Structure 1
């Protein structure tokens, strides 16, 4: 199966299935001498792992990561880094009901048609469980970016029709601390309580709901991104749209920008007394012409409702006959609280890759 690798210079390849022995990732291209903070990497995985609260799936996985290669005495060696995360709490019997029946809005039908075979246990390779490997790799990318002062932070900005007001990202550490005070990972406390109550009511009704994650990247240098097809926002868009359940991506003013006039939308350049160039507004979302301009990079990622619902639905079986199916097992009523670290990880992978590529863009 193709399509399991991502990135050019900072390149990852993930492997494993939801109900297999383990999932994992191979990272190639990470520079040598990077200090590897295993506690930090595990902390990022802990934010994504299942069983965190009443509004997430109750599957119990510790998601304990083990580094198999590429690190010696706490530092990267410049060789491929292998990370392994064992699966500990599979319940494959929860999926015996859909061996020959296609779950609506899942990958069952498309995988079966494309490959002639599929792993019905939790969706196999199409399961969001695969994203744990991305988070592990993304955590390493974030450690690399931190050496350059680049910071990445995201939060849940909407659930259903509940939207959080704009929040300050002046201090990323304070932003993250506020976000982590609640189980929905929204940096606005009042909105967070409303979101939690709504998600719990949807869960009790046997249904699911979608939402949005807003992400911010600070201290990104000018110059990341390449013309024409490797624009920074294009690669960010591909990264985000590769995440399970993502149905939308917008950066800067996004779709709202299409309703504005150029005189309103143009970001006016100014120069400080220190010689730093910035813009008065940031409708460009920190990217112009596909290249970072030094302003904060801002984008939103929209997640659809989780496809597995605890209600009976009409469908068809593998022979094309009419059938019915009801959700079983342990599933998230809303994916966005656990998607926050995934969005950050994919953003970090894109930025790390482009940062490495940019080092050779000009003769120095």
Structure 2
């Protein structure tokens, strides 16, 4: 499990990850690389020119390996220097600067209004600082450790943008037949909007430029794919152990995310079952049953409409999720609101923000998928050390399918 702390313009963000086995090799460079990926993408705001996100280890790591105790990471906010007076931790008499920069004109689409009403605050900044997507920096740091653990078991996670500002890439179609290129991130990260379809990249950039000129914002969709996931993670026995539910819940927690699809998703509701469900085939030579160390148990699917999950359990096929992000709520041409200080109609406050954060959202979604899958791996194979976890995993995979006869065995019997 993990938790985060910190405000957008506070001194720092903190991520604490519990449950990692002892002996997992980790490095600040590995985590910082993921943080740098989150900062990229055309349409980001001026904040990305200020920050140089990096972690400082606080606990749980020694000599480049986890200790089995909670891992704590600190991510300094360089922008804190510009907000130290406004974000002062202690002040018996709030200075004029705090009063001057008080947020009383809540933004439609943001947590501002609901937050001040729920928590009985007079200043929307008390809400927006934590509700800011800046918090996801800490989640990406936590997810980087989860990715590192999954890599020990052959799991790789990537993402790409499939639509932005209403412009769809060729990969957005449910009828696509081409195989997804891999390594996915090596390809998508070359694009400033993280698309695989070079034919639409220029059009998306132009759409972002037009939105910026109009003081508007844009949303979009990303697809996240996890390859090498072993069959049998998650469970059908209780609602809260179903892995698809856990993935959806985690991904819906990303600021501005309004929808999640797994595999074919909503398209499955529009097709007959014969076009939706993935047929089951044997492995080598079409024969099933002899796992031979195959994480899929010796079976395969000619299609993956289920997105690698059936009954809340991984099938051994790639886990595929799509995530939809609404346009950012901070508009440079603000929408109408009510000034909470006067009760009069007003224009919503404009904070420094992005035109779009869809490319970055893909990196965040990767991190959260990694955290869910790593948690499921620890539930299934967990040990106090990485070596123990490997032994448990190896024994499980070796036994997969060993009790099922192949067609040849059935004939001989």
Q: TM-score, normalised by structure 2?
A: 0.80
Aligned to 2:368: 346
1:111 equivalenced with 2:101 (yes/no): no
Structure-to-structure mapping, 1:196-211, within 5 angstroms = 196-211=205-220
**1:125-171: per-residue Cα shift (whole Å, max 9, x none)?**
11100000000000000000000001110111101221111286655
Contact (CA 8 Å) 1:24, 1:85: kept in 2 or not? yes
Q: Report which of the two structures shows the higher radius of gyration computed on alpha carbons.
A: 2
* Structure having the larger proportion of residues in strand: 1
* Whole-Å separation in 1 of the counterparts to 2:179 and 2:34: 20
Alignment equivalent of 1:324, drawn from 331, 343, 346: 346
- Shift in alpha-carbon separation, 1:160–1:119, aligned structure 2, 3 A: same
Offset at residue 355 of structure 1 (A): 0.6
CA distance, structure 1, for counterparts of residue 182 and residue 369 of structure 2: 16
Task: Output one character per residue of 1:82-129: Cα deviation in whole Å (capped at 9) or x when no partner.
Answer: 100111125557995652221211111111111112551781111100
Deviation at 1:246, TM superposition (A): 0.2
8 Å contact 2:2–2:17 — kept in the other structure? yes
User: Residue in 1 aligned with 2:300?
Assistant: 278
Deviations 1:302-342 (A, max 9, x none): 00000011114211122682321255342111110111210
Matching of residues 101-250 of structure 1 within 5 Å:
101-117=105-121, 120=125, 123-166=128-171, 172-173=182-183, 175-227=184-236, 228-229=238-239, 230-250=241-261
Aligned residues: 351
2:355 matches 1:333: yes
Q: Are residues 1:290 and 2:294 paired?
A: no
- The offset of 1:226, in angstroms, is 2.1
Change (3 A) 1:321 1:191: same
CA contact (8 A) 2:7 2:130 kept: yes
Give the 3 Å change call, closer, same or farther, for CA 161–313 of structure 1 in structure 2. closer
| CA–CA separation in structure 1 for the residues paired with 2:75 and 2:348 | 30
Contact 2:38 2:363 in 1 (8 A): yes
Q: RMSD across aligned C-alpha pairs, in angstroms?
A: 2.3
How far does residue 193 in structure 1 lie from its aligned partner after superposition?
2.2
Partner of 2:59: 69
Asked if 2 retains the 8 angstrom alpha-carbon contact of 1:285 and 1:299, the reply is: yes
Between 1:216-225 and 1:87-96, the stretch displaced more is: 87-96
The 1-side partners of 2:55 and 2:196 are apart by: 28
User: Structure 1 pair 53/352, CA: closer, same or farther in 2 (3 Å)?
Assistant: closer
Unaligned runs of 5+ in 2: 87-96, 291-297, 383-391, 397-413
8 Å Cα contact 1:54-1:200 kept in structure 2? no
2:26, 2:64 within 8 Å by CA — same for their partners in 1? yes
Residue 39 (structure 1) shift: 1.2
Answer yes or no: is the 8 Å Cα contact 1:225–1:291 preserved in 2: yes
Q: Which structure has the highest helix share of the two?
A: 2
Query: Could you say if the C-alpha distance between residues 329 and 100 of structure 1 is closer, same or farther in structure 2, counting changes exceeding 3 Å?
Result: closer
Question: C-alpha distance in 2, partners of 1:313/1:320?
Answer: 17
Q: Summarize the alignment of residues 27-66 of structure 1 with structure 2, pairs less than 5 Å apart.
A: 27-49=17-39, 52=40, 55-59=43-47, 60-66=50-56
Cα contact 1:68–1:83 (8 A) shared by 2: yes
Q: How many angstroms does 1:272 deviate by? A: 1.8
- Aligned with 2:335: secondary structure? strand
